[in-house]
Structure 1
Amino acid sequence: MLKRPFLIACFLSLTACQTTQDAVQADASDQQTHIKPTQIQTQTDVIKAQPFPTAPIHEEDIWQRIRQQISFAPSSHPRVIRRVNWYLQHPNYMDTISQRAGPLLYYIVTEIEKRGLPIELALMPLIETDFDMQAYSHKHASGLWQLTPLIAKHYGIEINPWYDGRQDLIDSTRVALDFLTYLHKRFDGNWYHAVAAYNTGEGRVLRAIENNRKAGKSTDFFALQLPRQTRHYVPKLIAATQLLKQKLMPFPAIANTPAITTVSLPAATILDRDPQWSMLAELNTGYARFPALLGGPNRLIIPVDKAQQFQAYAKNLPTMPSNQWQTYTVRRGDSLSVIAANYELSVRQLKSFNQLRSDTIRIGQQLVLPVLADQHYTYTVKSGDSLWRIAKQFNVSVNKLKQWNALSSSTLQIGKELTLFLTAP
């Protein structure tokens, strides 16, 4: 019974020793926390001054590898304390997080270290999506790092009917870290401002800073007038780092070894339906119509312990299995662009499938096209329907329904047509 108050007392004493006086006024909602904050810390100079530690490669647990590198200063601000309390009141939460993060976290941490970025960024997928690679938001953001289509495409991510790189671990991590690096420079090295801008947009943060500057107020993150979600976004990240750094609650161990690797594939590969490879869909959520690996980077993420087995399997895998490709006969009025649009392909893909060197086709010519699924089904939304109910009816996931139909919200309109790609039972 005494363990949690003792941990909180230790937490407050540690943070109070490292804070400096600031005249920032906490908003009304911050006063409701049952742990009173001590001094509010001025974050900016502390973050700029502290170098990022060298990676402790000897650690056996990836969480401890992160813990040893944490450089953000702790805070006793009410928003941080309230989030710490929330974590402590949900002790099983980190069990779920560790289970989801297990295959992903080593890769993310390694990519952050390669760039010399603060290790705290490895916890952003926890704050964004609870390490859910298929998460969607009402703001049209998607994937582990909640990238919007605009940001994703600006940094070179492919988004098409077959593949959404925002839901791919490798593509999305690259773009998220590119974007965060840009924001860090944009905000003169202040990571809290950069992380806030990642959440709400750089324009809002810049305006908030300028408004405070004109009013003679502090430009510390906690002093800025930002949307409510953003005001609590950075404190969530700080709270998670403090929980780990100060060992306020257990983080179930994840081995500090590579969990995944990649294998290169020929263009236009469709896996067969061997059940032993069905689990690969969970690591390759960027491919909207798995096992059709089309429209993406021609690689597959696989568990390290399956690498040799898959390499042997892939050697004998036809690029175009006959039962998953169909023949199309060119008709009068057809063109590559018309056929490609009808089958939700690009002209480049269509030419690649058929080894065409030009855009010229002739009537009667045979083309090969991928089979969309065992059944390509259109469902019309009725009164009382929900994504959950439709997903249950067709034995698919809600996330797949959203991905197939580019839905960023769970709200459906009566009469809306949804596309489903169903496999044979």
Structure 2
Amino acid sequence: MSTIRITGAGLALLSALVLGGCQTLHQTIQPKMPDGATGSPAGSGLTPAAPKPAGFVQAPGPMAFPGPASRQAPGPAPALTAETADEKPQKQSAAERPSPAPLDLWARARAGFRLPIPENASIERELNWFISHPEYIKRVQVRARPYLHFILEETEKRGLPTELALLPVVESAFQPFAYSPGRAAGLWQFIPSTGRHYGLKQNWWYDGRRDVVAATRAALDYLQALADEFDGDWELALAGYNAGAGNVRRAIKKNQRRGRPTDFWSLKLPRETRSYVPRLLAFARLLSESDKLGIHFQPLPNRPYFAGVDIGSQLDLALAAEMAGISIEELYRLNPGFNRWATDPKGPHRLQLPVGKVEPFKQRLAQLDPGDRLRWKRYRIKNGDSLGVIARRHGTTVALLQQVNKIRGTRIRAGKHLLIPISSKRLNHYALSAGQRKARIQNSTRSGSRIDYVVQPGDTLWDIARSHKVSHLKLAKWNGMAPRDILHPGQKLVIWTKSGSVVAARSAAVLPPTDFNTGPRNTRSSLRYRVRRGDSLSRIATRFNVTVADLRKWNTLPSKYLQPGQKITLYVDITRQTL
């Protein structure tokens, strides 16, 4: 195998590579404020404890904050005429002079607060949770720094209450990679269906729910639509963002039938939603009265942190970080929508970079030979290979291989060659890619014995958990998943069991032979597979990312045909299974 550099006319094809929320209620109620995903598509569902430390306060009477200061751009200067040429300029009074823009983003947010904060026990409870957890407030401030200016800008452009810019505090604690048990992702915690409805693309390369720019605009679109539906009632709009508009409508109709009020505080909504709206209002009050309440908000400069750069086509993210002069981790934090080692071949072809790094990056990108945007490998197809096996081994997709190599179907021939895009660095260099984030979760040491399990056709998370006598919620957590995530044959799961025994024939609990070691942790697991109707050696090899030759070597097969019910042994490299 050799690595080659593509230039000239071939680039046009190779650069045009292919491929590729927040609003159903999750029922799990967490015992404390999360430091990440809320545990629901749009809210945490928490009812924080209400300790009464120093600084504990009772909620005052109803409060309302003034609307945002006018931010209209000045109009054009009047033309100089004979009538105005000799006039002396009029001296403005202090009241007439426009207020200077706040130097601090927190002050800017406060200036745009418009939501009334009523006297309410739920708000008081949430407020006292914040007061008693100052370390949480500090972490949120640090995480908010790269994103808050952009979110405030987008909120103000639409004339919306700036309390909405603080919603990621409640949704994700400003963690762009937050992922909840309800399958909600990103700062704004969109679930897949709502994300797609609001134009957030989701595929193997890219997840728009985590894209700070795209998801912020989609979230504000959604909130505006909800506010319109509920006649400008922001409390109901926020409840709809968390629980879904349908749940709110049904609660309103139920109260109407009974002759009861239909404001947020009078509706019977899910417990999570009853905490969600008070939590945002409590944080707004905390910010407004931080000095009085003894909470320090570190000033954040009121200027853009990042700016977008059009990169034109697919680009290796390690190379992009080097050209920008930043770490790969910072690049991912500003561009958390990218799942893999490169940008999506079908776009968006845009990177967010620190403002001071934009111009140097543009200059270096302009000087970069187009053929150096990605590395390419010329791969010789072996007996037993399939496009799926080759794609998984090289961290890419079947669709991309088909596009680059002009393959219409899935049939390939041994001895032929494929061009494969490959990363410029080892995959573990891309520390915040989806694969590396999941690997860190799975490799965390926990109590009990570790079992490496390879998912088989027909498996469900519930069945696997039950057969190993563990909670399906814990099993999902150990693997960085949501309980309703779909499993794929060949996917690798980590199970921590106190018994350490194998309780299912299909479990990949047997430790692999020592000669399969590829590092400090064994990555081979053995399993017994029961042949199903329609199976063939080629199909099984593709499913588990091995070769037909491997299957023949591991098993004494009396004939070249398999029989349903027949059992064969596989040694599966768990690092090469599709997640």
**1:370, distance to aligned residue in structure 2 (A):** 2.0
Aligned: 1:267 with 2:313: yes
- Contact 1:75-1:238 at 8 Å conserved across structures: no
Pick one of 247, 258, 268 that aligns with 2:304.
258
Map of 2:482 onto structure 1: 408
1:420 Cα deviation from its structure 2 partner: 5.5
Q: Which moved more, 1:135-144 or 1:66-75?
A: 66-75
Whole-angstrom CA distance in 1 between matches of 2:368 and 2:445: 33
Q: C-alpha distance in 1, partners of 2:573/2:352?
A: 29
- Residue in structure 2 matched with residue 178 of structure 1 by the alignment: 221
Higher helix share: 1
Indicate how the Cα distance of structure 1 residues 31 and 113 shifts in structure 2: closer, same or farther if over 3 A, else same.
Answer: closer
Distance 1:406 1:386, change over 3 A: closer
8 Å CA contact 2:48, 2:126 repeated in 1: no
1:58 pairs with 2:74: no
Specify the alignment match of 1:228 in structure 2.
271
Provide the aligned length of Structure 1 versus Structure 2. Answer: 367
Question: Secondary structure of 2:443's match?
Answer: helix
Provide the identity percentage.
34
How many angstroms apart in 2 are the aligned matches of 1:222 and 1:235? 10
The aligned residue for residue 313 of structure 1 is 364
**What pairs with 1:138-287 in structure 2 (closer than 5 Å)?**
138-247=181-290, 248=293, 249-272=295-318, 274=322, 276-278=326-328, 279-287=330-338
Distance 1:130 1:71, change over 3 A: same
Task: Give the letter aligned to residue 262 of structure 1.
Answer: G
Q: Contact (CA 8 Å) 2:387, 2:412: kept in 1 or not?
A: no
Go from structure 1 to structure 2 and tell me whether the alpha carbon gap of 1:307 and 1:386 turns closer, same or farther (over 3 Å shift).
Answer: closer
Higher gyration radius (CA): 2
**Match status 1:120 vs 2:124:** no
**In the alignment, which residue of structure 1 is the partner of 2:443?**
390
Instruction: Measure, in 1, the Cα distance between the counterparts of 2:480 and 2:408.
Output: 30
Matched-pair contact (CA < 8 Å) for 1:53–1:71: no
Separation in structure 2 between the aligned mates of residue 315 and residue 257 of structure 1, nearest angstrom: 27
Kindly state the Cα deviation for residue 391 of structure 1 after the two structures are TM-superposed: 5.0
Shift in Å, 1:174:
1.6
Counterpart for residue 111 of structure 1: 154
Secondary structure of 1:300 counterpart: strand
Question: Secondary structure in 1 aligned to 2:185?
Answer: coil
- The Cα of 1:332 is off from its aligned counterpart by 11
- Give the AA of the match of 1:264: D
User: How far apart in 2 are the matches of 1:391 and 1:296?
Assistant: 34
Residue identity opposite 1:317 in structure 2: L
Change (3 A) 1:189 1:257: same
TM-fit CA distance, 1:256: 0.5
Alpha-carbon distance change, 150 to 367 in structure 1, aligned in 2, over 3 angstroms = same
Taking structure 2 as the reference length, the TM-score comes to: 0.55
TM-score (norm 1): 0.73
What residue identity is the alignment partner of 2:210? Q
Tell whether 2:340 aligns with 1:289: yes
| CA–CA distance in structure 2, aligned partners of residues 418 and 286 of structure 1 | 28
Q: Verify the 8 A CA contact 1:281 1:291 in the aligned structure 2.
A: no
Query: Counterpart of 2:419 in 1: which secondary structure?
Result: strand
Distance (whole Å) between structure 1 residues aligned to residue 391 and residue 303 of structure 2: 43
Task: Tell me the secondary structure at the aligned position of residue 165 of structure 1.
Answer: coil
Equivalent position SS for 2:341: coil
CA distance in 2, matches of 1:114, 1:209: 31
Give the match for residue 397 of structure 2: 345
Cα deviation digits, residues 332-359 of structure 1 (max 9, x gap): 9999999889975374x557756x6x95
1:136-176 CA-to-partner distances (Å, cap 9, x unmatched) read: 10100000000000011111211111111111101111211
Structure 2 Cα separation of the partners of residues 31 and 157 of structure 1: 36
The answer to whether the Cα contact below 8 Å between 1:98 and 1:253 also exists between their aligned partners in 2 is no
Q: Does residue 1:72 correspond to 2:115, yes or no?
A: yes
2:124–2:282: 8 Å Cα contact kept in structure 1? yes
2:129 corresponds to: 86
Aligned equivalents of 1:116, 1:173: Cα separation in 2:
15
1:176-219 Cα distance to aligned partner (Å, 9 max, x none): 11111111112121111111111111111111111111111111
Indicate how the Cα distance of structure 1 residues 322 and 129 shifts in structure 2: closer, same or farther if over 3 A, else same: closer
> Relative to 1, partners in 2 of residues 1:145 and 1:99: Cα closer, same or farther, differing over 3 Å?
same
Partner-residue secondary structure (3-state), 1:92: helix
Q: 1:220 to 1:259 in 2, by over 3 A?
A: same
Distance in 2, matches of 1:207 and 1:119, equals 28
Q: Find the partner of 2:426 among 374, 377, 380.
A: 374
Does the residue aligned with 1:269 lie in a helix, a strand or coil? coil
| Maintained 8 Å contact 2:240/2:248 | yes
Shift in Å, 1:89: 1.8
- What RMSD in Å do the two structures reach over aligned CA positions? 4.1
- Alpha-carbon distance, 1:374 to partner: 3.2
